[in-house]
Amino acid sequence: MKRIIILLPVFNDWESLKKLLIGIENSIQKFPDVNIECFVVNDASTIAKPVFVKPKKIKSLKILNMKENRGHARCNAFGIRYIIHNETFDHLILMDADGEDRPSELESLIKKALKNPDYSVVAKRIKRSEGLSFRFLYSMHKFITYLFTGKKINFGNYTCLTNKDAEIISSKPSLWSSYSGTVKKNLSNLLEIDSIRGMRYFGPSKMSLFNLIIHSFSIIAVFKLQALIRSFFIIIILGYINKFFTLDLVFLQIPVILFCIIIFLVSLRENEKELLKSSENLINIREFNN
């Protein structure tokens, strides 16, 4: 029997998690021959956990409680490494626990993965639910990422990894900083399903403008070598135009140089030592049964 683990990072958003678990149960009804389990990484929440009743269709529900808050990306990094070293599984699904990764799309994700067991599957964003200004900034983020890396990254955390691919990325230092960038850099032949970014179950989105900028720089930093090479050629081209067409384009060259410096600084967030010892932040594990 196939075993699929769903990894869900949570910080204080317990009511959303309870609603999401119900959504997951409704979406996995068509897979009676698959054991589906949920592993929740509690990122040192300051709000007490409510009483949980494990949905019957979910084989197992475990909450991994962390000592210190490390942030969403690092919860995913820890969770992937924990599952790789402590569990046997066929596929590992990563989801945000706030409702923005819609459980209604789980059926398509799992079907694609089961039909193509040797390939990981990503949920390609074809539509977002945020306002017009945020969608514009997100489009700019994707354009800049493509310009400086040559990579089209149109997915986030919502993915289904094979056991082999999860193991490949589990030891990459960049996983400590950017999940999607690490997947794109290290895994080939990714399959896709169409995905619509959902609305948070409770409260406003936590993806502020500042967080979006850090998110964008973190992805580009995974490809820092490509980004630096492309930046170098952009500066040379601008210098060539400046010389032969008597245009003063220094005001464009300086931002590119500053951009390179920022990417280098952001790349320092990729910490192999912290990644490899991330299990030290685990306090205990609680398992919920019916």
The C-alpha atoms of residue 77 and residue 66 are separated, in whole angstroms, by 13
What string of pLDDT tens digits covers the 290 residues of the chain? 899 999 999 999 999 999 999 999 999 999 989 999 999 999 999 998 888 888 999 999 999 999 999 999 999 999 999 999 999 999 999 999 998 999 999 999 999 999 999 999 999 988 766 667 767 777 888 888 888 899 989 899 999 999 999 999 999 999 999 999 999 999 988 999 999 888 888 876 666 667 778 888 999 999 999 999 999 988 888 777 777 766 666 677 788 899 999 999 999 999 999 999 999 999 999 998 76
Cβ pair 61, 21 in contact under 8 A? yes
DSSP per-residue string spanning 48-114: PP------TTSSEEEEEEESS---HHHHHHHHHHHHHHH---SEEEE--TTSSS-GGGHHHHHHHHH
- Tell me the domain boundaries of the chain: 2-141+152-203+280-288
> Model pTM?
0.91
Residue type, 187: L
Q: For residues 112 and 192, give the distance between their C-alpha atoms in angstroms, rounded to a whole number.
A: 8
H runs (alpha helix) in the chain: 14-27, 72-86, 106-115, 132-149, 163-169, 179-186, 209-222, 224-244, 250-267, 272-276
Burial of 8 (0-12, 13-18, 19+ CB in 10 A): buried
Pick the CATH number of 2-141+152-203+280-288 from 3.40.190.10, 3.90.550.10, 3.40.50.620, 3.40.630.10: 3.90.550.10
